[in-house]
Amino acid sequence: MFYYVLKYVILGPLLRLVFRPKIEGLEHVPAEGAAIVAGNHLSFSDHFLMPAILKRRITFLAKAEYFTGPGIKGRLTAYFFRSAGQIPVDRSGKDAGQAAIREGLGVLSKDELLGIYPEGTRSHDGRLYKGKVGVAVMALKAQVPVIPCAMIGTFEAQPPGKKIPNIHPVVIRFGKPLDFSRYAGMENEKAILRAITDEIMYAILSLSEQEYVDRYAAVVKAEEAEQKAAEKGRKFPRLPLS
């Protein structure tokens, strides 16, 4: 119930007022039945803008850190995210991918829409990064179409680290559903999963017109953070103990 209060009474009207999103290709999102909406991920706002403009309810897989904050604030934040249709997924450890797939398949088994960001994390520089194959596994196991989606302008509206969004035009663009039924029963074939995921990412790229990086975003982020730490260490060398 609170999901629809947020969508139609509180958050939805506010987001439409601030961002005035332009919607393209909404007819490609099925009116009923299970489907995966796979999009690029540029901003914290992405989680809420898409549900605000879709006619159907959509459930996203979200990082568990949004649900585990301490104290009253943490509990309120967790309640808000759950009410907004977010499911927590622990992204740490070797079983993180399997946990996400289980949660996603649970949503699809109810004939609902599942929202997923194949990059696995927000883009820190506005570019589109290599997708993880979990989206392909779910598409094949659930035998559902994948609707590519591009969020355009949300990086400028709310770049990483910015809490209060800028007023900036936003476009949400949906592409034609991708049918992978020809690969039915091949969800354990690594080459097939990679090919499907790359096809999905290419469809997103065609819609978003971003620069593409054929590397995982999390790896690039870690490398850049390590490089910054090293540069800081060179700038402020530790003095020898006397």
Residues 222-237: tens digit of each pLDDT: 999 898 888 877 665 5
Q: Does any domain span residue 240? A: no
pLDDT per residue as tens digits for the range 173-189: 999 999 999 999 999 99
Rounded distance, CA 98 to CA 82, Å? 21
The answer as to whether 242 is a domain residue is no
Q: What is the extent of the structural domain holding 164? A: 2-235
Task: State percent of the chain over pLDDT 90.
Answer: 54
Q: Backbone phi, then psi, for 24, in 5-degree steps?
A: -130, 135
| The total number of structural domains that make up the chain | 1
Q: What is the CATH number of the domain that holds 79?
A: 3.40.1130.10
Q: What is the mean pLDDT of residues 55-81?
A: 79
Interval 143-162 mean pLDDT: 92
Is residue 241, in this structure, part of any structural domain at all? Answer: no
Alpha carbon 115 to its chain centroid, in Å, reads 7
- Report d(CA 141, CA 125) in Å as an integer: 33
Q: What is the pTM of this model?
A: 0.87
Joined tokens for residue 25: 């290709």
pLDDT at 124: 93
